[in-house]
Structure 1
Amino acid sequence: MTGLIVAKFGGTSVADFDAMSRCASIVASNQDIKVVVVSASSGVTNYLVRLAKGNMPTNERDAILAHIADIEFSILKKMGNKPELAQALEHLLNELSAIAKESELANSLALQDELLSFGERMSSLLFAEILREHRVHAVNFDVRQVVKTDSSYGKATPDIEQIKHQAETLILPELPHSVFVMQGFIGSDEFGKTTTLGRGGSDYSAALLAESVQASALQIWTDVNGIYTTDPRLTAKARPIPEISFDEAAEMATFGAKILHPATLIPAMRSNIRVFVGSSRDPEAGGTWVAWETEHKPAYRAIALRKEQVLLTLKSPAMLHATGFLAEVFTLLAKHKISVDLITTSEISVALTLDEPTNGNSRKITPTLLAELREIGEVEIEEGLSLVAVIGNHLQATRGVGGNVLSALEKYNLRMICHGASAHNLCFLVRSDDAPGIVEHLHHCLFDN
């Protein structure tokens, strides 16, 4: 279908009846939107994550289940008398309650994924009905029939070819007649068990579906009107960016910008699907288009901030004029499934940065890893750091770029600098306490003059 659009609505966009109604108006006003992907209503996923831990007191579990039911039924209540819809919603809540009471929940990633799927499943049920009230022929479709993955529960890997085949079989033939409302974040494995795609999974699954139905565009509707020059919470002078290239957006997402998850861009880039980011609260305000080509390619496009970084420095005289030392280091890191962000080297040392969020499920720098690294050199760990990335174009080849940035930061201590590896970013590591002030000052120097 020429001009086919996939629209994804985030948790705040489907938070309540009024929010869902605004989103329904967006869909109803554009006949090219034929696939809709929804997140769980705002707050529901947090409750489900708490439930998924299992082994909690009965009164606490029941209170959480009641909070979830209140969110969902408050939406249903505003729709008027819908006995069949109420019955379907009650059925989902009963299923959720049964899984929440499973004794094996805390030790079963498969059960946890099944439990976490209910937020999106309830959202799609309710949103499809609201679309019908807007005179849209909407079908509440179980996305698990299409988004096929492996069995890595908690962070499943999609099977691209199977997703494409399932979409061609189950979705494409019906698109001329219906709008498909589906769930983000979830899929199923070869055994039919529910899987989840991990952090950023809703946007990612929307991009996978856009690719599978050969959409011309993917719209991501959230609570902000586009991608900003930096986080508006860091400076009031941050402003929306009308257009940005895939390369720039990927750098922003990688280095901390929350508006897009890096995985979301992979299917879009692979299949040349333009991505739009806008606010469902104010759709007329415009937003940001992400595409391969942009009309303007400024040296400075945005500033991203990535918190909770750890600097690991490994020093060894054995590095001097030696071969294979870095290979040995990265073999160890790969063994422990650790991804490195930035790296600098000298004659006898190598320094690299790692993500180490305090709310992460597990620590990356374990005693075992440290012991193995100490067998090949002296190890130093520094915490309390943040990564600032200046995103733009031709940064490695534009005269004065490095000097402009560094001169603006002469009052601050920069712990590490990486420049030249990419045409689209200049990164440096700073103390976390200094990071907000640095971003605000740098934004003023680069964007406000």
Structure 2
Amino acid sequence: MQVFKFGGASVKDADGVRNLGRVVQAHQDHALLIVVSAMGKTTNLLEKLVQYHVYGTGNAADVLAEAQQYHHAIAEGLFPDHRHPVHNEVANRFVEIEWILEEPPMDPYDYLYDQIVAVGELVSTTIVSHYLNEIGLKTSWVDARDYILTDNTHREGRVDWNTTTARINEQLPRILENQLVVTQGFIGSTSENFTTTLGREGSDYSAAIFAACLDAESLTIWKDVPGVLNADPKWFDKTELIPELSYLDAIELTYYGATVIHPKTIKPLKNKNIPLYVKSFVDIESRGTQIKSTNESLPVPSFIFKVNQVLISILPKDFSFIVEDNLSDIFSRFHAHKIKVNMMHNSAVSFSVSIDNTGSNVDALLEDLQSRYEVQHQHGLELITIRYYNQQTIDRVLVAKEIIMELKDSYTCQLLVRKL
């Protein structure tokens, strides 16, 4: 039994769904559970809809109409006969959002976000499931919310592993005996049956949850790249494919910001020693990258770039030492504002961190910190992380850049820089 995960880029249009069908047909000799993300940039579109609905900054109904039109066009490209049931099912999925928009936004933002944005995955899997059945692959659509139980932390649901494992093993192995299963990434539910999401780009994590609970033979993530590369092609003209990675190196790369795999994906697979393949849906015969238990280190240095960084330096107002009590308070404030730290350094009297500039919550954090500390901040910086670095690799990334902060250990170098 194998688990396949397809991201939004792989199903961004009707041709993408047809290609997904070809990939599945080439592997139909295995029992397959298929996890699918929202199509194309649907999540971004629905996030904008939530903002318009809650804050009144735009017309949410127009955004909903755009999302509906986009998905109906894909469905029509695959099913020209308008009597096909997929058309009604897609329309009914969006009715859930229409009901929400009819009422004033009284619920918390994060709760509304989960109820609305999750519809993207429900619609995409509805279309994919119908298409696989249409091409002769017996397929069952299942709702991930019936299986993945989380706590009430909306937008970052924490998985209840015991209940989730029991639910998955109660029904899915029997279904998988004689048909494919198509389900959603990114979403779960609370014990009260409210929809939750697992964090942005969380579909990889969903696939790992299903794979771990089912003791799958492997998990394959199908991407629009040949596999895991040693740098993002947006930043480097010449990149190299990494054919094999250890779980440890994969965890480190995702922790530092590599976007090819969601950071939470690796641990459930490592616990069950399930290999992870990252392969190209464009060239399905290519080798890709295998992530598994191995003592081999990366064959080439790897580079991770994070732009739009903010450096925050925090000092006690009485110029006392930064001690455990201060750090505990500082981290609790970061957690309250949902700010994740990318790099940190402390001295006797200051604590400095680099974070993503995510907008209003950063402004709220700075205001909160200033109530107790002296706070300095710099914007518009870039964080470069090099795994298995040497001086040549450092020099390569520092052209026309000034180092603001630098951290090194035996394997990893982090450079917070400003362009000259």
Query: Superposition pairs for residues 157-196 of structure 1, below 5 Å?
Result: 157-196=158-197
- Structure 2 vs 1, CA of residues 334 and 58 (structure 1 numbering), >3 Å: closer, same or farther? closer
Segment of structure 1 superposing worse, 409-418 or 150-159 = 409-418
Paired residue for 1:438?
none
1:306 alignment counterpart: 306
Paired residues of 1:25 and 1:134 also in contact (CA < 8 A)? no
Report the counterpart of residue 236 of structure 1 in structure 2.
Answer: 237
1:319-358 pair list within 5 angstroms: 325-336=322-333, 337=335, 339-346=340-347, 348-358=348-358
Q: How does 1:22-37 map to 2 (within 5 A)?
A: 22-30=19-27, 31-37=29-35
Say which SS state the counterpart of residue 326 (structure 2) adopts. helix
More displaced stretch, 88-97 vs 407-416 = 407-416
Name the residue aligned to 1:442: none
How far residue 232 of structure 1 moved from its aligned partner, in angstroms, is: 0.4
Match of 1:117 in 2: 118
Report Cα offsets for 1:392-447 as digits up to 9, x if no partner.
3xx6xxxxx3x444555487432222112xx542212111x36xxxxxxxxxxxxx
Contact 1:19 1:281 in 2 (8 A): no
The reply on whether 1:60 has 2:44 as its aligned counterpart is no
Q: How does 1:237-316 map to 2 (within 5 A)?
A: 237-293=238-294, 296-298=296-298, 300-314=300-314
Whole-Å Cα distance in 1 between the matches of residues 101 and 315 of structure 2?
49
- Do the aligned partners of 2:140 and 2:182 also contact (CA within 8 Å) in 1? yes
Runs of at least 5 residues in structure 2 that lack an aligned partner in the other structure:
none
Deviations 1:304-330 (A, max 9, x none): 11223232334579889x7xx331231
Tell me the C-alpha RMSD between the 2 structures.
Answer: 2.6
Q: CA deviation at 1:268?
A: 1.8
Please list, as runs of the form range in 1=range in 2, the aligned pairs for 1:409-424 lying within 5 A after superposition: 409=398, 412-420=401-409, 423-424=410-411
The answer as to whether partners of 1:313 and 1:349 remain within 8 angstroms in 2 is no
1:381 paired to 2:370: no
**Aligned with 1:284: secondary structure?**
coil
Rounded Cα–Cα distance in structure 1 between residues aligned with 2:316 and 2:329: 16
Distance 1:180 1:367 in 2: 48
Structure 1 stretches lacking a partner, 5+ long: 396-400, 435-449
The residue number in structure 2 matching 1:47 is: 45
Q: Does 1:21 align with 2:12?
A: no
Instruction: Give the counterpart letter for 2:166 in structure 1.
Output: H
* Aligned partner letter, 2:276: V
The change in CA–CA distance for 1:119 and 1:412 in structure 2 (over 3 A counts) is: closer
Once the two structures are TM-superposed, the CA of residue 293 in structure 1 deviates from its matched residue by 1.1
1:320-347 alpha-carbon deviations (Å, 9 max, x no partner): 9x7xx3312311222212554433344x
The change in CA–CA distance for 1:95 and 1:407 in structure 2 (over 3 A counts) is closer
What's the secondary structure of 1:282's corresponding residue? coil
Q: How many angstroms apart in 1 are the aligned matches of 2:156 and 2:395?
A: 42
Q: Which amino acid aligns with 1:386?
A: E
1:384 deviates by 2.2
Contact 2:245–2:298 (8 Å) recurs in 1: no
TM-aligned CA deviation for residue 19 of structure 1: 0.3
- Matching residue within 377, 384, 387 for 1:391: 387
Shifted more, 382-391 versus 185-194: the winner is 382-391
Give the TM-score normalised by the residue count of structure 2: 0.89
- Please say if residues 142 and 183 of structure 1, whose CA atoms lie closer than 8 Å, have aligned partners that are also in contact: yes
- Please give the TM-score of this superposition, normalised by the length of structure 1: 0.84
**Is the contact between residue 314 and residue 376 of structure 2 (CA under 8 Å) also seen in structure 1?**
yes
Amino acid in the other structure paired with 1:352: S
Mean Cα deviation higher: 85-94 or 217-226: 85-94
Deviates more, 1:11-20 or 1:300-309: 300-309
- 8 Å contact from structure 1 (residues 7, 33) kept in 2: no
Deviation per CA, 1:155-188: give whole Å up to 9, x if none. Answer: 2111111110001102112211111100111111
Once residues 305 and 249 of structure 1 are traced to their aligned partners in structure 2, the CA distance between those partners, rounded to angstroms, is: 16
1:201 to partner: Cα distance:
1.4
* 1:97-149 deviations in Å (ceiling 9; x for gaps): 22233212674533331111111111111101111123211101011110111
Secondary structure of 2:38's counterpart equals coil
Change (3 A) 1:241 1:384: same
1:138 paired with 2:139, answer yes
Q: Residues of 1 paired with 2:57 and 2:364: CA distance? A: 33
2:323 alignment partner, SS class? helix
1:298 to 1:87, Cα distance in 2 relative to 1, 3 A: closer
Q: Residues 345 and 56 (structure 1 numbering): CA distance in 2 closer, same or farther, change over 3 Å?
A: closer
Distance 1:242 1:248 in 2: 13
| Secondary structure of 1:429's aligned partner | strand
Residues 335 and 58 of structure 1: is their aligned pair in 2 closer, same or farther, counting only changes over 3 Å? closer
Cα drift, residue 223 of structure 1: 1.6
State whether residues 200 and 264 of structure 1, in contact with CA within 8 Å, keep that contact through their aligned partners in structure 2. Answer: no
Distance 1:355 1:276 in 2: 30
Deviations 1:19-54 (A, max 9, x none): 011111111211325100111111222221122221
Query: Contact 1:28–1:135 at 8 Å: present in 2 too?
Result: no
1-structure distance, mates of 2:41, 2:156: 21
Give the distance between the partners of 1:424 and 1:270, measured in 2 at CA.
24
Equivalent AA in structure 1 for residue 405 of structure 2: M
> Is this contact kept in 1: 2:403–2:416, CA < 8 A?
yes
Measure the CA separation in 2 of the matches of 1:35 and 1:205. Answer: 11
Question: Structure 1 residues 307 and 194 mapped into 2: Cα distance closer, same or farther (>3 Å)?
Answer: same
Provide the C-alpha distance between the structure 1 equivalents of 2:229 and 2:242, rounded to a whole number of angstroms. 5
Task: Tell me, in whole angstroms, the C-alpha distance in 2 between the residues paired with 1:25 and 1:410.
Answer: 45
